[in-house]
Amino acid sequence: MSLPLHPLDTELLARALPMLDEEWLARDADLAPVLPTVLARNVGQDWHKAGTFRHHLVGVARSLTLWQQPRDVRLLGLLHSVYGNAFVDLVKFDPAKERARVRDLAGESAEHLVYLFCTQSRTQFVQKVLAHALEADGSMVLDDKDGKRHVLTPYEVAAFIIVSMADTIEQWFSWQDDIFSRFPHVQPRSQSAHWAASLWPGPMRPSGRMLHQISALGKALQHPGLRDQLPLPPVFADCSQHLSAANEAAATSLYWSVIQQDQPLVDMDVATGVLESAIRHNPWVAEPQMVLAQLYLSSGRRDDAKAVASSALHLFSAWGNAWDKRVQWDAWIAWTRILLQGAMVEETWPERLDKLNNVALRP
Beta carbons of 134 and 220 less than 8 angstroms apart? yes
Residue type, 78: L
- Distant-in-sequence, close-in-space partners of 286: CB < 8 Å, separation ≥ 6: 311, 312, 313, 314, 315, 316, 319, 323, 332, 336
Does residue 348 carry a pLDDT above 80?
A: yes
Cis-peptide, bond into residue 283, ω within 30° of zero: no
When comparing pLDDT for 225 and 43, which is higher? Answer: 225
List alpha helices for the chain, DSSP H.
10-16, 35-39, 53-66, 71-79, 99-106, 108-119, 122-130, 154-171, 174-179, 195-198, 211-220, 236-239, 245-259, 269-281, 287-298, 302-319, 329-344
The answer to whether residue 85 scores a pLDDT higher than 80 is no
**Which of 301, 338, 261, 234 shows the shortest CA–CA distance to 3?**
301
Judged against a pLDDT cut of 90, whether residue 39 lies above it is answered with: no
The neighbour count for residue 231, using CB atoms within 10 Å, is 16
Radius of gyration of the chain (CA): 21
Highest mean pLDDT among 143-147, 309-313, 343-347: 309-313
Whether the per-residue pLDDT at 347 is higher than 90: the answer is no
Q: What percent of the chain has pLDDT over 70?
A: 99
pLDDT tens string 311-340: 999 999 999 999 999 999 999 999 999 999
- β 51-52/47-48 pair status: antiparallel
Spell out the SS3 assignment of 107-119.
CHHHHHHHHHHHH
pLDDT at 81: 84
Q: Rounded to an integer, what distance in angstroms lies between the CA atom of residue 285 and that of residue 318?
A: 10
The rounded distance, in Å, linking the Cα atoms of 19 and 53 is 18
Mean pLDDT, residues 141-146: 84
Tell me the pTM.
0.96
Q: Which residues are bridge partners to 152 per DSSP?
A: 140
Average pLDDT score, the chain:
94
User: pLDDT band at residue 1, thresholds of 50, 70 and 90?
Assistant: low
Q: What is the pLDDT of residues 275-286, one digit of tens each?
A: 999 999 999 999
Q: List pLDDT tens digits, range 53-77.
A: 899 999 999 999 999 999 999 999 9
Distance in angstroms (rounded) separating the CA atoms of residues 62 and 6: 21
User: Taking the CB of residue 244, how many other CB atoms lie within 10 A of it?
Assistant: 13
CA-closest candidate to residue 281, choices 289, 270, 290, 291: 289
Q: Would you give the distance in Å from CA 44 to the centre of its chain? A: 20
